[in-house]
Amino acid sequence: MSTGANWSAIAKLLHWTIAALIVAQFVVGWMAVSWRLSPMKLDLFVWHKSTGMLVLALVVLRLAWRATHHPPPLPSNMPRWERFAAALTHALLYAAMIAIPLTGWVVSSAAGVPFSIYWRIPLPSIAPTDRHLVEVVGNVHGALGIALIVLLVIHVGAALRHHYIKRDDVLVRMLPRRRTSR
Ligand code: HEM
Ligand code: HEM
């Protein structure tokens, strides 16, 4: 069933930019943690922490946009449990996208080493220097990352189910519009 509705260009741009940056964050985060101690490891951490702060800023912007704009309606024949599941998954995705960078920021602060975003903008400290805090919140940061991956499997699975099984336009209306070929 087609809703005939579409996500706005801003919503699509934010959705896909943030999605791409988050995928990069996982790759660079795991590389940074496992790299041998070297200048390269430190650079990987600067990229990871800087891009993570960029994600946080974009997600705040996206939530502000979302609070002031109506999303396109879901297909009218969608059962109540599916609407609830979608709303819950989206809320948890937003929560993870905020909590993961915030816990990263706490770890970075608790390490007590001054840090500048992309080597330029000094990041204020939001936690006291504390080795124990680095370890505990570092584990929380990693565990939240795994939780986000679980949510994304559900999210992408649901999007593909809409497209290939239910055959509605829920996925297509979030895709960047392609030019029609002549
Ligand atoms: C959406 C944003 C982010 C994602 C998806 C993400 C994901 C990850 C992942 C997967 C790891 C490896 C975890 C492990 O194997 O233990 C990691 C490590 C780390 N991240 Fe992030 N991260 C994000 C944002 C940030 C931010 C904003 C900061 C700091 C300003 C940060 C600081 C760190 C630090 C310090 C570690 C190493 C932690 C440790 O050694 O226990 N991250 N991150
Ligand atoms: C890191 C990756 C991703 C994250 C964090 C993410 C997050 C989100 C969030 C929070 C929403 C809810 C938007 C709102 O109601 O304000 C959403 C919507 C959506 N996402 Fe994703 N997404 C990601 C990747 C993907 C991928 C790979 C696909 C497709 C295969 C996809 C398909 C969709 C679709 C179709 C919607 C619109 C749902 C609707 O109309 O209710 N997303 N995404």
> Looking at residue 1, what is its pLDDT?
63
Tens digit of each residue's pLDDT (9 = 90 or more) over 69-94: 999 999 999 999 999 999 999 999 99
In a domain? residue 4: no
In a domain? residue 181: no
In a domain? residue 92: yes
Q: How far apart are CA 49 and CA 118, in angstroms?
A: 9
Tens digit of each residue's pLDDT (9 = 90 or more) over 101-127: 999 999 999 999 999 999 999 999 999
In a domain? residue 182: no
Report, as ranges of residue numbers, the positions in the chain whose pLDDT lies below 50: 178-182
Residue with tokens 């996500």: 7
Query: Ligand 1: which residue has its CA nearest to atom 14?
Result: 142
- Is residue 49 lining ligand 1, measured as CB closer than 6 Å? yes
In a domain? residue 112: yes
In a domain? residue 180: no
The contacts of residue 84 (CB under 8 Å, 6+ apart) are none
Q: What pTM did the predictor assign?
A: 0.96
Q: Which atom of ligand 1 is nearest to the CA of 138?
A: 41
Q: Which amino acid is at 130?
A: D
